[in-house]
Amino acid sequence: KGRLPVLYGSSGGWEGLTYRWRTQLEENAKTLAFHHLFPEATHNELSGWVEPRSLVKKMTAIFLKDPAVHPKVLRRMAFTEGVIRRQGARVLVASVSGPSLLSRMLKLLALGDFVSVYLALLYGVDPTPVKRVEALKKFEGTICAISHDVYFLNAVADHVVHIVQGKITVFPGNF
């Protein structure tokens, strides 16, 4: 409670689980959270665990680990845990046992859901309503999306604003 959670998982099948932990913390406990995946997390992000020092000390890095993760990635996770700990942040490791990868993933998924609801209770918030999401679903105002992803724009846009060399053209519909 009172700390910013930063979740770390691994690529190779763990992406969805790490993302799920983050979204459940945000939706149920109404707390901002971040996530990143190894091995990429050992590049630029590792350097960022310095400033602002006052914020770093209020963060908790949560590592989602499993023995099926590549040994080199597990060593990088352990190294990163040490770096983060030395900066004054809290480090937690979430790992479960089970006879198969699927059973361990399901257990870790359930643990993340439980943690998010428990944190909501610690904050004194009801984990069930998602008032801001419901309000967004009813919102009929303007939302600006900037993207090079034509498929995304086709799915969300009802107008496209094209800006080239200072000239603005508005197209009704999408691409």
Q: What is the dihedral of CA 111, 114, 119, 120, to 10 degrees?
A: 150
From 137, 138, 148, 167, the catalytic residue: 137
CA distance 89 to 30: 21
**27 catalytic per annotation:** yes
From 27, 30, 35, 36, the catalytic residue: 27
CA distance 80 to 27: 27
Instruction: Give DSSP secondary structure letters for 81-115.
Output: HHHHHHTT-EEEEE----SSHHHHHHHHHHHHHHH
Dihedral sign of CA atoms 137, 142, 148, 154 in order = positive
Structure tokens at 69: 């993760």
Contact 93, 65 (CB under 8 A): yes
**Could you tell me which residues come within 8 angstroms of residue 142 by beta carbon, excluding any fewer than 6 positions away?**
none
**40 catalytic per annotation:** no
**43 catalytic per annotation:** yes
* Strand partners of residue 94: 64
From 1, 15, 36, 43, the catalytic residue: 43
Active-site residue numbers?
27, 43, 137
